[in-house]
């Protein structure tokens, strides 16, 4: 059965309120822009979204926060979104802040079928509250649970019709782990090619992890914080 879908609207079919969604990207790099736009149009609400960051006010996951479709965020970095801040302080948004490396490993563990793991990160801090603590070789560790999602949305530079994906540079940070941790993984790509056109040694996500794929129609590729030097 073909994995190729016409567009984001068709690819996200099956999305419902109260689901857990995993979304790739690092800052505004490598985010599934087309899928996020389609999710906004879907009207699904009370979503739990897992992503390294929460976008900015008018872009990325910030669009779903504006429309109040997200009830909970599991994230690492959220400092660029005033909408996120207001909803959290007003008590309208549940937030689970997770250290960046821990978040990556929770997603990787979810994709690998590992239910939980011990890490020293966060010991003695608010991160450790209500979590099991054990000592190994004289060092304290806390138990972190793996993350799985109903849907995983990733964005790749190139992909073939069998779902094999190649990410470009920084976009490779969280997308590969997220691609493995969804019950249904949807990939949007800049370039969709035929099987055999991708160099096998360059493939980052094997097609076995991807159930749906489509070629995106438009990418803004914004810069989260533009820093320039004086000439």
Q: Which CATH class is domain 8-114+147-215?
A: alpha beta
pLDDT digits 0-9 by tens, 123-153: 999 999 999 999 999 999 999 999 999 999 9
* DSSP-based three-state secondary structure for 135: strand
Alpha-helical regions (H) of 135-189: 175-180
pLDDT of residue 139: 97
Locate 157 and state its tokens: 């530079």
Query: Would you say residue 222 has pLDDT above 90?
Result: no
Question: Measured between alpha carbons, how far is residue 90 from residues 62, 65, 84, 94 in Å?
Answer: 16, 13, 10, 10
Each residue of 93-127: pLDDT tens digit? 999 999 999 999 999 999 999 999 999 999 999 99
Contact call for residues 184 and 151 (beta carbons, < 8 A): yes
Rounded to an integer, the average pLDDT of 171-192 is: 97
Q: What's residue 218's pLDDT? A: 82
Number of H helices, E strands in the chain: 6, 11
Q: Please state, in angstroms and rounded to a whole number, the distance separating the CA atoms of residues 136 and 194.
A: 49
Entry pTM? 0.94
pLDDT of residue 228: 84
User: Distances in Å between the alpha carbon of 29 and those of 32, 86, 211?
Assistant: 9, 24, 23
User: What's the chain's average pLDDT?
Assistant: 95
Own/partner contacts of 76-82, CB < 8 Å, gap of 24 or more, are 76/52, 76/100, 76/103, 77/27, 77/52, 77/53, 78/53, 78/54, 80/53, 80/54, 80/55, 80/56, 80/224, 80/225, 81/53, 81/54, 81/55, 81/56, 81/57, 82/57
């Amino acid at each position: 059965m073909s994995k190729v879908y016409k567009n984001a609207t068709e690819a996200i079919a099956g999305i419902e309120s109260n689901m857990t969604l995993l979304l790739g990207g690092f800052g505004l790099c490598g985010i599934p822009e087309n899928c996020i736009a389609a999710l906004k149009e879907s009207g699904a609400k009370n979503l739990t979204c897992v992503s390294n960051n929460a976008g900015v006010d008018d872009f990325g996951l910030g669009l779903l926060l504006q429309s109040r479709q997200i009830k909970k965020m599991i994230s690492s970095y959220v400092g660029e979104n005033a909408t996120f801040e207001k909803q959290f302080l007003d008590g309208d948004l549940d937030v689970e802040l997770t250290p960046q490396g821990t978040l990556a490993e929770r997603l990787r563990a979810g994709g690998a079928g590992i239910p939980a793991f011990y890490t020293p990160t966060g010991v003695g801090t608010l991160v450790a509250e209500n979590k099991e603590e054990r000592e190994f070789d004289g060092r304290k560790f806390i138990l972190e649970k793996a993350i799985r999602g109903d849907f995983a949305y990733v964005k790749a530079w190139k992909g073939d019709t069998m779902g094999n994906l190649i990410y470009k540079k920084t976009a490779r940070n969280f997308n590969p782990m997220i691609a493995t941790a969804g019950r249904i993984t949807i990939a949007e790509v800049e370039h969709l090619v035929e099987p055999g056109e991708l160099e096998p040694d360059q493939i980052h996500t094997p097609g076995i992890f991807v159930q749906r794929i489509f070629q995106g129609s438009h990418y803004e590729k914004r810069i989260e914080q533009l820093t320039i030097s004086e000439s």
